[in-house]
Amino acid sequence: MHRSICVAGSLVACLILAGCNGQPAEDAASSDSSAANKETATSKGRIGFSALTLTNPFFRIIADTMTEEASQHGYTIAVVSADQNVVRQSEQIDEFIVQGVAAIVLNPADSVSIGEAIRRANESGIPVFTNDIKYAGDVGKVVCHVATDNLQGGRLAGEAMVKLLGESGGQVAILDYPDVESCQMRTKGFREVLDAHNAGEGAAQIEVVKVLNGEGAREVGYTVTQDIITAHGDLAAIFAINDPSALGARAALEEAGLQDQVTIIGFDGELAGKEAILAGKILCDPIQFPRKMGQRTIELMMQHFNGEEVPSEELIPSQLYYKADAEKDPELQTAAAGEVNGE
């Protein structure tokens, strides 16, 4: 997973990559079509975006928002999915280099080992931007990183856990995703708040008894939660670093009949997560704003193209979102109306 990938120079290799990189069929077709019409009379150029995964709606929102924002500035975007695989993402960056894109945007599949591919883009004169997940290495250079303030969001999750268990104490598990920097920050902020609470004189102890890698995926969150509740029958709560893993944890708890014993705090605020909060299946989320993230990435990119100085990092604060917030959320009202109308 941590080996470098050399760029393939032949057209045959490029075509194979476009069709076999694991992205959804519609994205591959779109990329091929865009490549065939790479420079139209109205297009200033193409931007390449390698998303961590397009099976998570959060990254699809970022991709769609960037596509809309870029079009307003005369650029098209080629969107591909790394499928959480740093080798595949490295190959996708090499393909973008071959295509001569104007810029590359990444959600790094590995916050360190993607550095060699970023370096190759740097050497080709292509600026690299990241959003949501930060590049944490020092081999390549990223112009600007746009993301949620994940440390602040993790602290909000910790505050919610202290509010839940501060008086009684209890055992807590964390569904982590240590391969990516954003989730490292969420876990760090969460544990900081718990440690501060536990250090208080006479405080009821909130003990983290297990930290497992849920990979940010629903099916993995389900599996590791099964392992956790088998080993820790007195578990009181789970902190999951995103909504898919939180929903997987909920499925495992329901299967074991422990949904009333174990409370889940998630992270993200995607539609499925908000619906689960409304239904009482997740207690709360520090929510992110992926549309704002995608929009700001393109805005800062355009400033860079114009020769303006841009910050190396721009962080967007998260907000705690409970059932009371879900009950008045226009997004959920719109989704409910669509279901009634059969959409």
- What is the residue extent of each domain of the chain? 11-132+290-311, 150-287+322-338
Give the residue ranges of DSSP H helices in 199-289: 218-231, 243-256, 271-278
Q: Which residue's structure tokens are 């292509």?
A: 126
Reported as a pLDDT band with limits 50, 70 and 90, residue 10 is very low
Neighbour count for residue 323 (Cβ, 10 Å): 14
Confidence check: pLDDT of 18 > 50: no
Phi, psi of 21 (to 5 degrees): -90, 10
Does 150-287+322-338 match 11-132+290-311 at the fold level? yes
Tell me if 271 sits within 8 A of 41, measured CB to CB: no
Which whole number is the average pLDDT over 314-337? Answer: 90
Confidence check: pLDDT of 12 > 70: no
Q: Both tokens of residue 128?
A: 């690299």
pLDDT in tens, 193-236: 999 999 999 999 999 999 999 999 999 999 999 999 999 999 99
CA–CA dist 152, 36 (Å, integer): 44
CA–CA dist 273, 60 (Å, integer): 15
Reported as a pLDDT band with limits 50, 70 and 90, residue 181 is confident
Buried b (16+ CB within 10 A) or exposed e, 284-307: bbbbbbbeebbbbbbebbbebeee
Confidence check: pLDDT of 31 > 80: no
pLDDT in tens, 88-133: 999 999 999 999 999 999 999 999 999 999 999 999 999 999 999 9
Average pLDDT, the chain: 88
CA–CA dist 63, 105 (Å, integer): 10
Q: Both tokens of residue 4?
A: 């470098």
- Among residues 213, 211, 214, which one has the least CA distance to residue 190? 211
- Among residues 314, 278, 329, 331, which one has the least CA distance to residue 149? 314
Distance of CA 289 to the CA centre of its chain: 11
pTM of the model: 0.77
Percent of the chain residues topping a pLDDT of 70:
85
Q: Both tokens of residue 153?
A: 């969001």
CATH number, domain 11-132+290-311, options 3.40.50.2300, 3.90.470.20, 2.40.40.20, 2.60.40.10: 3.40.50.2300
Confidence check: pLDDT of 1 > 80: no
Distance of CA 336 to the CA centre of its chain: 25
What class, spelled out in words, does domain 150-287+322-338 have in CATH?
alpha beta
pLDDT at 336: 61
Which whole number is the average pLDDT over 255-260? Answer: 98
Which whole number is the average pLDDT over 267-271? Answer: 93
Distance of CA 35 to the CA centre of its chain: 27
- Among residues 262, 270, 225, which one has the least CA distance to residue 243? 270
Confidence check: pLDDT of 56 > 90: no
**Measured between alpha carbons, how far is residue 2 from residues 35, 87, 110 in Å?**
29, 8, 8
**Paired strand residues for 75:** 45
Q: Is the dihedral of CA 68, 71, 73, 79 positive or negative?
A: positive
Reported as a pLDDT band with limits 50, 70 and 90, residue 42 is low
Confidence check: pLDDT of 260 > 80: yes
Strands of the 263-265 sheet, one edge to the other: 206-213, 170-176, 235-240, 263-265
pLDDT at 174: 98
